[in-house]
Chains A and B, each alone.
Chain A
Amino acid sequence: MTDMTKSLSLHLGLIALLLSLNWLLPSYHHGNLARIMVLAIYAIGYNVAFGYTGLLSLGHAMFFAAGMYGMALTVRHLGWSPAPALIAGILSGFVLSVIVGLLALRTSGVAFMIVTLMFAQSVFLIILYFTEYTRGDEGFVIQQAQRVMGGIDLSEAHNRYLAALLGFGVCLMLTWFLVGHPFGKTLIAIRENEERARMLGYNVYLHKLGAVVISGTISATAGALYGLLFGYAGATFATVQYSIFPLLWVLLGGAGTLLGPFVGTLFMFYLIDFTSEITTAYMLVAGVALVLLTLFAPQGFMGELRKRALGWLP
């Protein structure tokens, strides 16, 4: 088997496994896994910028929130049905990521991190400012009747699971295709040695912009799906904490690996779920994980696996 067929079967295999789990899991974990898959889409989006292009953003919550509110506000105030609302959410993320990319990519390194943090903070504050429409911190519920897409009730557990899996599978395979494509390979080259890539004739700025837009749009897709499938939109999802989460998931699972985002999200979700039963200070786990990962395992789980055993992992 060539490396490519090996990796293709691995990724399709994961999707098949997740599909079969729809009928096997007890309801608590079934619900969790649906949530994890949607959050993993967010991590996949983040990984395109951070893992593959080396752009460390501290503001991806703005894209997640753009997707969520682009979807939820059109449902709530314009009475749109789920399908066009979902597209509105994804488009909001697309537009926002073009604007943010054009501006923020004039900086790099630490300045890029702070600029993205500031933009995300502005988006969060804007959501609070328009509390009249967004209900601010409190947020608002999307009614069950508003979550029926083409006759399918997305609030029903199995439909919700399958919709989450569909979104996850599409985004996973999209990035699988991306990293094999010359564009994706150029992103990796930029991550590894930006000046060298430029002196091979690549337009580094444009490639990075492409990465931010793909990353932001996938993140917005996650936000829109999350709001739709779980029936709620709130400003919490635009806070700094929600910009830190995908960083944490991707670091844990392995930055610049395709399965890393899913593995990291899965692991962290259950870790926090478990800790929050014991203490309200469950974010302590996130803090400790961040410090330990930075210090001892910057490659993350899948990164270490690739380094030690499976060199062909994309």
Chain B
Amino acid sequence: MRPVKYVLAVKGLSKVYGGLRAVNGVDMLIPEGQVRALIGPNGAGKTTLVGLITGRITPSFGAVSFLDQDVSNLPAYRRISMGMGYTFQITSIFAKLSLHENVALAARRRGGSVSQMDSAVRAVLEEVGLSERIDQLAGDLSYGHQRLLEIAMGLVQKPKLLILDEPTQGLSSGEVSAFKALIRNLAGNTTVLLIEHNMDVVMAIADFITVLNFGEVLAEGTPDEIHANPAVQSAYLGGGDAGT
């Protein structure tokens, strides 16, 4: 039997700011095709951990390996071009460029002809429901639509690992269900690391959950296991921060 292939393997990852350990000895293995959710109370170190994985932040200790290759010393753009897709927590788009150009900038990294690129752009904008606005300036979109554009920019890269940092923040409930459907469509094909506050979303689409607390992994398991875990409940779900 073929051994399980891990897209992302994080080992002993730590980040120390002054005396404070924002992330402390985190181990994490994400197998191919999984939708992994990363949850935890505010200040648990989720954003720092993601920064360490993408290379935006340099770690104090530990290693990150991506597609069986040690990427600990690679700058962010190299990791991205190896196949990490990243969507920003605070919407970060090219406000003065058209939707088409926003997505095209993401798509061009993959090479291919102009017409292939163009059809990929149109397809992904169709997928997130923004195809009618293809020639608008991204800055003129509503906040919810900007978030969808951001996701489209992640998707069009056909990443080996798609990292979504709080993608549903600020979305209306209708948009949230559309988002859930979108990710379910990906299931099995794309490996996803989802940082998310909304427990409804997590419970609905995650295959596996990692709970972070005070910079350390508190628990790991399937949604049902996490839901039943008393330590998680007291640290997090009972903290009034949960959506369920």
A/B contact in complex, CB under 8 angstroms? yes
Assess the A193–B92 pair: CB atoms within 8 A: yes
**Count of residues in B whose CB is under 8 Å from the partner chain:** 23
- Of A37-45, A67-75, A184-192, which stretch is located at the interface? A184-192
**Min CB gap B155→A, angstroms:** 13
Number of A-B contacts (CB under 8 A): 52
B81: chain A residues at CB < 8 Å are 201
Assess the A196–B92 pair: CB atoms within 8 A: yes
Q: Does A198 contact B (CB under 8 A)?
A: yes
Do A200 and B54 contact each other (CB < 8 Å), given the known contacts A192-B95, A192-B96?
no
* Chain A residue at minimal CB-CB distance from B98: A311
Assess the B105–A185 pair: CB atoms within 8 A: yes
Assess the B92–A188 pair: CB atoms within 8 A: no
Q: Does A131 contact B (CB under 8 A)?
A: no
Q: Which residues from 180 to 237 on chain A have a C-beta closer than 8 Å to any C-beta of chain B?
A: 182, 185-186, 188-189, 192-193, 195-204
Assess the B109–A199 pair: CB atoms within 8 A: no
**Min CB gap A172→B, angstroms:** 23
B157: chain A residues at CB < 8 Å are 200-201
Assess the A202–B101 pair: CB atoms within 8 A: no
Q: Does B187 contact A (CB under 8 A)?
A: no
Assess the B93–A185 pair: CB atoms within 8 A: no
Assess the A203–B92 pair: CB atoms within 8 A: no
A192: chain B residues at CB < 8 Å are 94-97
A199: chain B residues at CB < 8 Å are 54, 56, 76-77, 80, 86, 88, 92
**Min CB gap B197→A, angstroms:** 21
**Min CB gap A265→B, angstroms:** 25
**Min CB gap A267→B, angstroms:** 25
Assess the B105–A197 pair: CB atoms within 8 A: yes
* Chain B residue at minimal CB-CB distance from A198: B77
**Min CB gap A249→B, angstroms:** 22
B96: chain A residues at CB < 8 Å are 192
Q: Does B71 contact A (CB under 8 A)?
A: no
**Min CB gap B225→A, angstroms:** 33
Assess the B77–A196 pair: CB atoms within 8 A: no
Assess the A196–B94 pair: CB atoms within 8 A: yes
A188: chain B residues at CB < 8 Å are 97
Digit string of B68-103 for contact with A (CB within 8 Å is 1, else 0)?
000000001110110000101000111111000100
Q: Does B141 contact A (CB under 8 A)?
A: no
B54: chain A residues at CB < 8 Å are 199
Q: Which residues from 39 to 75 on chain B have a C-beta closer than 8 Å to any C-beta of chain A?
A: 54, 56
A182: chain B residues at CB < 8 Å are 108
Assess the A203–B77 pair: CB atoms within 8 A: yes
A189: chain B residues at CB < 8 Å are 94, 97, 105
**Min CB gap A236→B, angstroms:** 38
Q: Which of B54, B80, B157 has the largest number of chain A CB atoms within 10 A?
A: B80
A195: chain B residues at CB < 8 Å are 92
Assess the A200–B88 pair: CB atoms within 8 A: no
CA distance A243 to B56 in the complex (A): 35
Q: Does B106 contact A (CB under 8 A)?
A: yes
Contact of B80 among A185, A193, A201 (CB under 8 A): A201
CA distance A185 to B102 in the complex (A): 10
Among all A-B residue pairs, the 6 with the closest Cβ atoms: A201-B80, A201-B81, A192-B94, A196-B92, A201-B109, A199-B86
